[in-house]
Amino acid sequence: MEKTPDRDALGGGSEAEGAPGPEELPPHPQSPPPPPSPRPPASPQTPEPPRPEAPSEVEARQLLVEEWGPLSGRLELPPSLSWQLLFLERPLYRNLLSSPNPEGINIYQPAPPTGPTRKPLQALGNFQGWYITTENLQGPFSWTVKEQCVNLLAKKLWEELLDDEQPDITIMDWFEDSRLDQCVYELHVWLLAADRRTVIAQHHVAPRTNGRGPPGRWIQVSHVFRQYGPGVRFVHFQHKAKNRMEPGGLWRTRVTDSSVSVQLRE
């Protein structure tokens, strides 16, 4: 099972390679935007993929406790959950976002060359789960805004775990050093209460690149929410990638390997 990279490597905050000096934060809203439209229900003609056979309840609990480590206190599962279900769903140490790599770009290689396009973003990959809008700026620039609102309870996390344990919530993202402008990317994340409007914690960053280094390099941005307090039920993830319109079409900044994950503190 692939786990989130070590927190020491993340540094517990935002990172942007090559950013000259402190990052400049944009004027950010104090409350998140309206929740994205929900994903349409699955077509009844599309059968559910078969699930692997789960171990017994006792075996599943033993395996997960070995993987997660001991939980503090006397934390028990709510009636709606079982250790077998948690073993299948794996709510901890996995990416909770849908389509985290919608254009199929590998961050271990430079971003492949591209040119201006007139195609809509949705035609360039699988963006299922993303709510996509465009924010026009002055001159030839615009933002492509992509967001998801993750329902932590629907991902099989539970209230006592979130409120009593307050596991780390790690955000990671990679954006292309597209050289379209000095600032080509923004990240905005809100931890929300059950009403999806009350903000319990938030993080906003707009790294500026220095224009040095090879073209097409990927720049990582990350943040870890810790000790955020009780009541978190949703994570609203939003990032913006800058575009520039030219006579031949739209030049884009690409983003990939976005992730929201939950980990128990060691």
Report the mean per-residue pLDDT for the chain: 83
Task: Provide the number of structural domains found in the chain.
Answer: 1
Q: Is pLDDT above 50 for 191?
A: yes
Domain-located, residue 75: no
pLDDT band at 47 (very low <50, low <70, confident <90, very high): low
What mean pLDDT comes out for the span 96-118?
Answer: 90
**CATH for 21:** 2.60.120.260
**Phi, then psi, of 143 in degrees rounded to 5:** -105, 135
CA–CA gap between residue 197 and residue 34 (Å, rounded): 8
Q: pLDDT > 70: what percent of the chain?
A: 77
Of 14-18, 107-111, 208-212, where does mean pLDDT reach its minimum? 14-18
Domain-located, residue 134: yes
pLDDT band at 74 (very low <50, low <70, confident <90, very high): low
- For 146, half-sphere exposure in the C-beta direction (CA atoms, 13 angstrom radius) is 25
* Amino acid code (one letter) for 259: S
What mean pLDDT comes out for the span 44-63?
Answer: 72
Q: Is pLDDT above 90 for 28?
A: no
pLDDT score, position 12:
37
Domain-located, residue 196: yes
Domain-located, residue 83: no
Domain-located, residue 195: yes
Domain-located, residue 159: yes
pLDDT score, position 221:
97
What mean pLDDT comes out for the span 231-243?
Answer: 98
CA–CA gap between residue 236 and residue 150 (Å, rounded): 6
pLDDT score, position 17:
43
- Whole-prediction pTM: 0.80
What mean pLDDT comes out for the span 17-21?
Answer: 41
Residue numbers of the domain that contains 191? 7-27+94-263
pLDDT score, position 69:
77
User: How far from the centroid of its chain's Cα atoms is residue 19's Cα?
Assistant: 21
Of 15-19, 178-182, 252-256, 259-263, where does mean pLDDT reach its minimum? 15-19
Q: Is pLDDT above 60 for 59?
A: yes
**Residue 257 near residue 170 (C-beta atoms within 8 A):** no
Task: Convert 191-212 to b/e letters by CB count within 10 Å (16 or more is b).
Answer: bbeeeeebebbbbbbbbbbeee
Domain-located, residue 131: yes
| pLDDT tens figures, 79-96 | 999 999 999 999 999 999
pLDDT score, position 72:
65
